[in-house]
Amino acid sequence: MDRILFGDNQFFGINHMSEEKARNQAMRFRDLQSIIRVLDTAYELGIRTFMCTTHDRIAEVCDYIRAHPDRYSDFKFYPGMPYAHKYANAVTELGILGAVKKYIPGSFVRTLFQGGKALATKDFISIMKLMVDAEMKMFEGLNTEVIFLQNIATDLLLGLELKDVFVAFAEHIRDRYRAEPAFFTMNLPRLLDLLDECGIKNPIICSSINSIGFRMCGGIELYEKTIRERKFRPVAMSIFASGAIRPREAIEYICSLKNIESIVFGASSKSHIQETRELIENLTTMKGTSVAG
């Protein structure tokens, strides 16, 4: 994985500290070109990996990237799924059957039968595979070398200790998409314990990691011990704690944790993107960690 990943929260009005800032961001990025301009800025500054949800607007971004293959020949998507709000909104607008018809791939009758059978037999694995395939349709023909299970699903499965579903997800991502399975979580230490029990070795795990313990279930000390002593591939998100930590302080802390493989951040201006990239590169070099992907 690249050292620096670019996230998408700013495009869809997501800010965990300020609702007003979130609304302003959502208004700013109402059209596709406003998103593309920011992605182009990140791309021109050398950032090649876009970590994103499967929001409907991302499908428009995918279409745009596919339409300009020469411009974005080395552009990578790291999709995270499922995007729960999308399904909730679809059910509200279209009803359950309408939502299924909209998002499940292939023949509607065949898929409905498969999904119904899965529900009747509580076959969570079949449902999971159907949902993954539905979500991945928008990325067809694009580089998706790492595919994440979003924390809303990861942490639910973790709480229920559904180990077979984790194993099946990992196998499905590897077998069908020739990609690395990865996981978002709000409870890094506990998830790593369970993945070890599942036999999923050296997993890619993205979690909140920052100097004030923001959204870090178990606390800073346990996270630092886990990152220092356990074998896995940590990706740090929420490094600025939604603006509560100054950029240099935040990145100095992350770069002091030697085993962090990648850092994801979102920004909407060239100055902020450039500042963050330069801080990560400079502080990584000072700490003796390679910046290359």
Q: Which of 61-65, 125-129, 176-180, 252-256 has the lowest mean pLDDT?
A: 125-129
The two tokens of residue 90 are 């679809």
The two tokens of residue 280 are 């990560």
* Over residues 142-155, mean pLDDT: 96
Q: Which of 38-42, 152-156, 195-199 has the lowest mean pLDDT?
A: 152-156
pLDDT of residue 107: 47
Give 102: exposed, middle or buried? Use CB within 10 Å, 0-12, 13-18, 19+: middle
pLDDT over 90 for what percent of the chain?
Answer: 70
Number of H helices, E strands in the chain: 12, 8
Among candidate residues 186, 198, 120, the one with its CA nearest the CA of residue 161: 198
pLDDT of residue 235: 98
Q: What is the dihedral of CA 99, 183, 250, 293, to 10 degrees?
A: -110
* Domains of the chain in sequence order: 4-83+147-287 (3.20.20.100)
Q: How far apart are CA 242 and CA 27, in angstroms?
A: 18
Query: What is the pLDDT confidence band of residue 121, given thresholds at 50, 70 and 90?
Result: very low
pLDDT of residue 114: 54
Compute CA distances 179 → 22, 84, 167, 217, 236, whole Å: 32, 22, 14, 28, 20
Tell me the β-bridge partners of 77.
Answer: 50
Q: Which of 105-119, 134-148, 236-250 has the lowest mean pLDDT?
A: 105-119
Report the SS3 class of residue 122: coil
Cβ pair 198, 157 in contact under 8 A: no
Indicate the pTM of the whole model: 0.86
Query: Looking at the predicted structure, is the pLDDT value of residue 268 above 50?
Result: yes
Cβ atoms within 10 A of the Cβ of 200, count?
Answer: 20
Cβ pair 200, 167 in contact under 8 A: yes
Q: What's the mean per-residue pLDDT of the chain?
A: 87
Higher pLDDT, 54 or 287: 54
Query: Looking at the predicted structure, is the pLDDT value of residue 275 above 80?
Result: yes
